[in-house]
Amino acid sequence: MPSDVSFTADGVRIAGRLYLPTDSADSTDPSDSAAGSGPVPCVVLCHGFSGTMDRLYDYAERFAAAGLAALVFDYRSFGASDGSPRQVPDIDGQLTDIRAAVAFARAHPRIAPGSVLLWGNSLGGAHAITVAAGDPDIAAVVAQIPFNGFPKKVEGRSTGDTLRLLGAIVWDALRGKLGLRPHYIPMVGHPGQLAVTATPEAEHHIATLTGGQKSTLWRNSVAPRALLGMMRYRPAEAAARLSCPLLVCVAADDRETPLETTRELAERAPHGELRAYPGTHFTFYTDPAFRDRVVADQIDFYRHATAKV
């Protein structure tokens, strides 16, 4: 069974859940030498822009079933973690939270400190690359449908919609500078609605984020100020500094993190590999058979990387 854990990052309590391999699941004491055969590699999973850790439980379970420990967590001000104001994506803060998660994993008695692996989805993919570029002891990175800059044209968004969103971003950033309450907007909305992502499939998009559950950590509300920082975010520059292997997993028909921008991450990494799968950005969330194939490839990649450690 997974165990709820917490650690601190810059004095903020970060909530997480640790999955140990199935051979150690019967032990509630992580120091029990009878649980498993010794320290194991650990995958630290990083979710996207406004995501929460519950959307990554399935991935963590799959990694644990394959003999890897897996740690999921919520960024500060999201989900079960502390931090206020709430629902404010802070790129620097999220990077700090990931580094704290890595430190927590390395200190755990059931985890091999030299075999910590990073896994990131969407913006979390960019974060995983950035953190690993500054940490030569990370064994390998998987970046799944990773952010590498905004697409030049967002399908279904008019010039007027774009200007309204830019206005909301600037207004929220100004309120942040003045110490005022954030100006929240929906993360997901319909075309024409003021939202970070406005798509005809809004309800379907929300269902992929909530898992169709009535109760979830995720909230369809976000402070858009972080989009300013994302406009200046350059994960490809970090990819060029990676010393560990990088696997970039993308969808051939992805419009949110398109192949023409994400391929640069694999190309610039010294030990980069790109794998493109048929489907869209949301196929990674909605198709269990598709996920089986992708995660199997990721597990093989991690096993190969840790065998060299």
Which domain range does residue 159 map to? 155-231
Q: Which residues, 6 or more positions from 148, have their beta carbon under 8 angstroms from its beta carbon? A: 126, 235, 236, 257, 261, 262, 264, 265
**How many CA atoms lie within 13 Å of 251's alpha carbon, on the beta-carbon side?**
20
Predicted local confidence at residue 288, as pLDDT: 85
Of all residues in the chain, the percent with pLDDT exceeding 90 is 75
Same-domain check for residues 227 and 237: no
Exposure letters 88-125 (e unless 16+ CB within 10 A, then b) = bbbbebbbbbbbbbbebbbebebbbeebbbbbbbbbbb
Same-domain check for residues 100 and 187: no
- Computed over every residue of the chain, the mean pLDDT equals 90
Same-domain check for residues 185 and 73: no
Say how far apart CA 292 and CA 300 lie, in whole Å: 12
Higher pLDDT, 120 or 214: 120
Say how far apart CA 270 and CA 211 lie, in whole Å: 36
Same-domain check for residues 226 and 238: no
Same-domain check for residues 117 and 238: yes
Predicted local confidence at residue 7, as pLDDT: 98
Higher pLDDT, 56 or 212: 56
Say how far apart CA 7 and CA 105 lie, in whole Å: 10
Predicted local confidence at residue 156, as pLDDT: 61
Predicted local confidence at residue 29, as pLDDT: 43
CB 256 within 8 A of CB 197: yes
Average pLDDT over residues 135-164: 88
Same-domain check for residues 212 and 111: no
**How many CA atoms lie within 13 Å of 57's alpha carbon, on the beta-carbon side?**
14
Same-domain check for residues 217 and 238: no
Same-domain check for residues 227 and 185: yes
Same-domain check for residues 196 and 267: no
Predicted local confidence at residue 33, as pLDDT: 35
**DSSP letters along 115-164, please?**
EEEEEEETHHHHHHHHHHHT-TT---EEEES---S--SS-TT--HHHHHH
Matching residue, tokens 């909230």 = 219
Predicted local confidence at residue 52, as pLDDT: 95
> 134: closest CA among 272, 41, 244?
244
Examine the fold and report which residue of 211, 231, 251 is the final residue of a domain before the chain moves on.
Answer: 231
- 249's tokens: 């997993």
Examine the fold and report which residue of 216, 231, 246 is the final residue of a domain before the chain moves on.
Answer: 231
Structure confidence at residue 32 as a pLDDT band (50, 70, 90): very low
Domain count, the chain: 2
Same-domain check for residues 133 and 163: no
Predicted local confidence at residue 149, as pLDDT: 93
CB 14 within 8 A of CB 103: no
Same-domain check for residues 287 and 192: no
Same-domain check for residues 216 and 114: no
